[in-house]
Amino acid sequence: MASPRLLLLSNSRNVGQGYLEHAAPHLTAFLGRGVQRLLFVPYAAVRVSCDEFSEMVAQRFAELGYAIDPIHKARSPKQALRAAEAVVVGGGNTFQLLATLHAKGLVEAIRDRVRGGAPYVGWSAGANVACPTVKTTNDMPIVEPKSLKATGLVRFQINPHYLDVHPQGHGGETREERLLEYIAANPGMFVVGLREGSILQVENGAIALLGEKSARLFLHGRAPWEVGPKGDLAFLMRPAPRP
């Protein structure tokens, strides 16, 4: 079994930049030229159709030199996954995505294909479903998945679009407080607060933080801490110490 290769993006669009523009050099470096066709999973789409979502993604990846095959058009999604050169999972609503993957029996199929050697690219909701569960998504549960368990391609949780901001006049919980609640209820799990423009690359058993921003790390029993792009994230590949 191959060591999984993953490129996990916090977001698809930075302010002032085009769709996936900030990630373009990382996408081409990660996917390389040995891959030509990418199987795209558009099931996180809610207010646009899977066709519309796939067309937008296909246009962007064509500019990078890759062709997109939308999984929702495949006669057999499971067979399409077994044959996929690479798997790309787009953002949107995490619960919509996971509910559809469970309904079609694709959670295990994605896990098997990526563990079998296919590179995995996911942004926002697509990064969430690479984790053991989707419990650290920011999304509203507009639908109810069969389970909150996801592919478990990594052993830690991600919070995409992580924000430090506490808006003036807002008396509710901050993002940090929500994640502190999660680790209190789930001791022994790491959470990576992944800020906009940041990317986690998992390859050869190592993890690199790409981009210019630090990530905020959470683990029950210690105060949240920052890790920069040159910081050591290898500990995320190992079981977290239990308090």
The domain defined by 6-155+194-211 folds into: Rossmann fold (3.40.50)
Is the model's pLDDT at 171 over the cut of 90?
no
pLDDT of residue 172: 66
Q: Which tokens go with 180?
A: 């502190």
Q: What is the pTM of this model?
A: 0.95
Going from N- to C-terminal start, the domains of the chain cover 6-155+194-211
56-90 pLDDT per residue, tens: 999 999 999 999 999 999 999 999 999 999 999 99
pLDDT of residue 209: 98
124 is catalytic: yes
111-120 pLDDT per residue, tens: 999 999 999 9
The catalytic position among 139, 166, 220, 232 is 139
Half-sphere exposure of 195 (CA within 13 A, CB side): 18
CB 128 within 8 A of CB 150: yes
d(CA 26, CA 143): 33
Going by C-alpha positions, the residue among 179, 158, 154 that lies closest to residue 239 is: 154
The catalytic position among 22, 26, 161, 220 is 161
DSSP H or E run through 191? strand 191-193
The catalytic position among 10, 12, 54, 124 is 124
69 is catalytic: no
d(CA 47, CA 53): 10
Task: Give the CA distances from residue 131 to residues 57, 76, 80, 135, in Å, rounded to whole numbers and listed in that order.
Answer: 23, 25, 22, 9
Is the model's pLDDT at 101 over the cut of 90?
yes
